[in-house]
Each structure stands twice: as C-alpha cells, then as structure tokens.
Chain A
Amino acid sequence: MSILIDKNTKLLVQGITGREGAFHTEQMLAFGTNLVGGIRPGKGGAEVLGVPVFNTVAEATRETGANAWVSFVPGPASGDAIMEAAAAGIPLLVAITERTPVHDETLVYRYVSEHGARLIGPNCPGLVSSGKSKVGIMPNNLFKEGHVGIVSRSGTLTYEMVNELTRRGIGQSTTVGIGGDPVIGTTFTDVLKLFDADPDTRLVVLIGEIGGTDEELAAEYISSRSGKPVVAFISGRTAPPGKRMGHAGAIITGGQGGPEHKVQAFEQAGVPVMNTIPEVGEKVAEIVGVPAGA
C-alpha cells in the first residue's frame, strides 16, 4: 500500500500545454502514472503526448473519471485553478505553482476544505508512491519500493533524502512534499496520520525547516499517539530572524519559527533530530534494518 496516490490514481494536468506542464507530463507518463487528461482553456480537443486536452476541469473530470489533479499554472492564476478543480469534485489537488499570493491561499484553503478536497501545496514538488504513481516534479529515477514514508517542506532536500535511502537499499512507501509556502493545504500532522494508518509504512522521515509552527504541531501529535517511529531533520538552523530563506514560508517572525524550538519539540516527543541527511539515513537503517543484499 501507500498513501494518497497509487495505481488507481487517475490524474489530470492543469496547464498541460505550457512548457513546465508538457515537460512534466512526459516525465509522469514515463514514471507510469495513469495520466488521463489535461486542461487548457481554449485548447479543448487537442492532444499532448497522446493525452486528451479539455477546456475545463469539470469537462475533463466527467470524460475521464479523474480522481487527482496537478497544477502548473503560474501564481496569479493558481488560486482560481485550484478552486475550479475543487468545484469539479476532485478529491486530491496538488499545486506545484510557486508565488501564489498569500491572500489567495487563505481563501483557497477555505474553499477547498468546504468542498471536501485535499490540497497538497502550493509551492511543492508533489508526491510519489514508489513503483506506483508520481504526481508532480520529483525526479523519476531516485525511488525504490519499500516501507519508509517521507514528508517534507523542501523540494531538493526531499530528493536528497530519497537518494540517500535508496542508496542504502531502503525503499519508500510514499514521499510527500507539502510545500514551502506559509499557507499550505496539507500539514505534517495530516500526512503523519495517513502514514500511521498505512500498513505498508513502518517509519516516517520528516524534513522540516524554519518558519511557522507546523513542526511543533507535528511533535505534539506524535507525543499524543503511539504510532510509528519518526526521524526528523530541520534545515535553517543558522538562518537569521526576519529574513525569508528562499521559500515564502521559511522565515522566523514575531519570535516564532526558530529552529531551536522545533528541535526541542521533536526531542521532547522522542523523535531523534539528525544533523545531516546521511545521518538520517543511518538512523533509519538502524531502526528498520537494511534489507539483505543491499
């Protein structure tokens, strides 16, 4: 098993005709994702890489029975696109888009929740269930099927983590990039709950960073349940307060979001916080054991 996506995932791509959209459509098809359609208003009836293009999400959903959607549309149009997909009744929405205005994100979050959909992102690399399905922009060749779940606020650092585990012969169930924006649809805690309920995930690697309180809330959740072991990593320990470190959400403000507090919260919850990605790999190997022959 896995969480959120698997072989039954039928994916639509918003902005399929754009440069990014077309490139990653090709990559997702190569991964084996069941990509059933794309949307580009005004280009309905066309095809991209053999995938049918529709004018609206509602039409695409009706015609294909899609149950997941990923968006590459730019920030200014991103909020509206997510609302269109939620209105069409798609349960899983993934927004890769960077630079979505925060005021739009607050409204979108409310709208998506009201429509009972789950939003991942914005400003995320998407997710991969190893050997089953990929939604988003993570590199195809890093993954190996297995039992470690990964949840992360960062893109490249997630790839590093997957690479590190795969190199050690340790596979992953699902890898989820939740996004680097200050307002995101799915939190660490949301994903931890899903992993806790997934019989195929034995351990979770959590990659946090400075900014906000999502790591602290995750630590609180971890303390409150007797679930699977979690190993954490926090980046930005040397980041100064008041400065945005690339991600819109990676900023220490108003005395909140500093690294010490996050590390402390995890340690109190019994979660080891490692200093480098190879150390995380080593800790994971110690807990789950390395498969024979690896």
Chain B
Amino acid sequence: MKLQEYVAKDLLRQAGVPVPAGEVAETPEQAEDIARRLGPVAIKAQVLVGGRGKAGGIKLANTSEEARSAAGQILGMDIKGLTVEKVLVEQQVKIAREYYAGITLDRANHRFLLMLSSMGGVDIEEVAAEHPDAIIRAEIDPAYGLRSFQIRDAMFAAGFDRSASSGLEKIIAGLYRVLDDKDAMLAEINPLSVTDAGEAIAADAKVDIDDSALYRHPELAAYEAESMTDPIELYASQHGVPYVKLDGNIGVIANGAGLAMMTMDVIKRVGGQPANFLDVSGGARAEVVRTAIEIVLMDPKVEGIVMNIFGGITRGDEVARGLLEAAGTMDIKVPIAIRIAGTREEEGRKLLEGTQFTPEPTLVDAARTILRKIGEPAAAGGQR
C-alpha cells in the first residue's frame, strides 16, 4: 500500500526525522490559511504517480493569496489519469545540496538494502542506469537491523556533506525505523536535503507498506482508500479479490494469479487488449463467481469476458455449476467465452454445453471467439 507524501512525512516526523512544516489542504481557502501561518510555501499535489512536478503539480507561493490561487489550479487537476484531491502546503526551504536515501527489498539477497547517493532529486532508477557507481549500498541483516556504523560508512562513501553528517545520520536511522516499525517494502527520501543553514531535512518521501503486514498496522487502515488509484481496484480489494485494471476491452477471470496473467498474455497475442487482471481463487461458489463478473463489468470499456478455469481440487463441474448459478441471478450483457480444463473437465463442459457459456476447446479459441463476437480482427499466430 503506497502512502501519500503527507502520510509518509508524518511517519518520518514521528520517527524523529525533520521534515518541512506543512499541512494538508483540500480547498484553496484552506491552503491560503495554512500559507498565512507558514509564510512562503510550496503547494504539492498529493497523487501516487511519479513526475507530478513536470505535470505542473508543484507550485511555489510567496504570499497567502498566491497560495490560494496555486492550490486552486492544482486541486482537481488531472495528473496521469488521477484527480488531485489534496495538496500539501509546506514551508519553503532554501536547499544547498540534495542527496538520495532509500531502503528497499533486495529480493535476490533475501534482505533489505540501504542505498545512498549524492545525486539526489532525480529518479534513482536513472542514476542506477547512468551512474551505477554513484549509488552506495549497505545490506541489512534482519537479525541485527541497520547499524549506525553502516550508515556512517555508506554516507562517507557516498560523499555526503561532513558538516551535516550527524543530522543526515539521524535521518537515515529514522528512515530505517519507519521501514522496520511499519513493515514497509520501500522507504525513500528523495531529495534528502541540506539547507543553506546546514541542516538536514527530508524534502520528499515515499513509503510503500507490505500489504501482507497491514493487520499489524490498524493506524494505517484509514489510508487504504487513498492508496488505491482506481475505484474498481478499491472495490475489488474491499471484497478480497485480486484485481488490476488495464486499458483494454476484454475482461479476464481466471483461477490463479499465473493463469490470469497467462490469459491476459494470450488475449494480447491473438490481437486483443485485456481490460484487467482478476484472480478468482476463492473456489467455485456462485457467490465468488458473481462477485468476479460484477467487478469486471464495473469497467464500462469491457465488451466481452474470457474466463479461464483450471479444475484442480476445485472440480470442473463445481465451477460450471457455480457459473450457471451466478449467471442465473445476473443480467450479463456482454459475451463470455469460457475455457475449462483439469479435474472433471468433461462433466463441467457437459453442464455448460448449449448455455451462453458453451466452453471453448483451448484458451486461444476462447480469446479468438470473444474477439470475433466484439467485431475485432484477430491477429495471426498463437495457433493453439
């Protein structure tokens, strides 16, 4: 679960990390009020996409009137498909130097990794691609945590300003505390700034919490809704269904994450565009199938659905019955092509023959059938 900047900064502040004084505004008037108290401010769109500065989502305001008008421009703005609903109104700081500090999971090494760079303020992926030597890494042993000496070693190797080193060290230690205490997958300060006055401060922050550990953090539950960038994804998540919205017009329902991804891939291969990822692993019950169809059809772009079911321990005939029962209670206006295989595949097929869900012999056939029904040409290739 990705947190908005203002939430990430609250967590850092609680861990003893200096962040610019600031408050969240949802109206231009609130922004004006805050600016009156803070003096010259930066108005920052709270959206969970990169590049908001380039998109015009960050503006400086030297007076409260300017703050009101800047907030008026940013609130409601569309940034990469997301509407700005909140802005962070933050005291301007005079920056002398910008660094990067981030802690992320190093999957291949089964450990978290501290990364520091003196090239701050730019995308760390760009730094990694163009100046790999400019990133200093320190592995974190899960049994001992990130030790102070490791932070100092990495800081000096990265060439961080010596005169601000105690402040910087404290910030990096605080960053680790947030990662560890809040079960984050990623905690990042970019830029990690040193002001004209020589003080270290976290000028921007990103925190991504491990979804599997959210049960340990009820204090973060309130932010789930704003972490979801799509209303259908939010609805699906609230119903415990793994769903990701994509750009196409062919809905996908499959039992299993790998199977759902493969179904998307095959749709694309035969010339279609998948509309979503959906894993309906919750068994064959009509209720589960109904919820899945309902979620896929919430996307108005969906013109047809490919359903790909492999009967394992959940038998093919049970799945077929669940589907028929679910369909009996719904008004489904788009064609559904189903491919069913595995345990009791024949029995499942027989139940579906002659219904609106007449099964297709293969997944490729199912994808082609849907393309035909919605009147789009299928590509060559993917014969099976």
Q: For chain B residues 237-278, which have a beta carbon within 8 Å of chain A?
A: 242, 244, 246, 254-262, 264-269, 274, 277
User: Size band of the B side of the interface?
Assistant: 35 or more
Report whether B242 and A246 are in contact in the complex, using a CB–CB cutoff of 8 Å.
yes
A225-242 contacts to B, CB under 8 A, are 235-240
**Stretch of B10-18, B27-35, B206-214 that contacts chain A:** B206-214
**A209 located at the interface, meaning its Cβ lies under 8 Å from any Cβ of chain B in the complex:** yes
* Cβ-neighbour of A110 out of B141, B261, B269 (below 8 A): B141
Point out residues on B near A: beta carbons under 8 Å.
104-105, 107-108, 110-112, 124-125, 128-129, 141-143, 180, 183, 185-186, 210-213, 215-216, 242, 244, 246, 254-262, 264-269, 274, 277, 279, 281, 310-313, 341-343, 362-364, 382, 384
- The reply to whether A182 and B128 form a contact with Cβ atoms under 8 Å apart is no
Secondary structure at chain B's binding surface: helix, strand, loop or mixed? mixed
Of B105, B142, B257, B341, most buried by chain A (CB within 10 Å of CB) is: B257
Interface contact tally, CB-CB below 8 A: 178
Q: Can you show 5 pairs from A to B with CB atoms below 8 A apart? A: A237-B261, A237-B268, A238-B274, A248-B212, A276-B382
Tell me if B257 and A245 are in contact (CB < 8 A): yes
Smallest CB gap from B252: residue in A? A238
A115 to B141 Cα, complex, angstroms: 16
Residues A155 and B258 in contact, CB atoms below 8 Å apart: yes
Q: Kindly state the interface size class of chain A when it binds its partner.
A: 35 or more
Say how far A191's CB is from chain B's closest CB, in angstroms: 15
Type the 1/0 row for A96-110, where 1 means its CB is closer than 8 Å to any CB of B.
001111111111011
Q: Are A109 and B313 in contact (CB under 8 A)?
A: no
Closest to B104 in A: A254
A77-132 residues with Cβ-Cβ distance < 8 A to B are 98-107, 109-110
Q: Are A235 and B210 in contact (CB under 8 A)?
A: no
Q: Are B342 and A109 in contact (CB under 8 A)?
A: no
A103 to B143, CA, bound (A): 11
Q: How far is the CB of A80 from chain B (nearest CB, A)?
A: 14
Are A157 and B312 in contact, with the CB atoms below 8 A? no
Task: Determine how close the nearest CB of chain B comes to the CB of A14; give it in whole angstroms.
Answer: 19
A276 and B142 contacting across the interface, CB-CB below 8 Å: no
Residues of A within 8 Å of B382, CB to CB, are 275-276
Contacts of B313 in A (CB 8 A): 27, 137, 139
Report the bound CA distance from A75 to B384 in whole Å.
39
Knowing A156-B310, A245-B244, A245-B260, say if A102 contacts B105 (CB, 8 Å): yes
Beyond contacts A237-B268, A246-B257, A255-B125: 5 other A-B pairs, Cβ-Cβ < 8 A, are: A106-B111, A139-B313, A183-B110, A238-B274, A247-B258
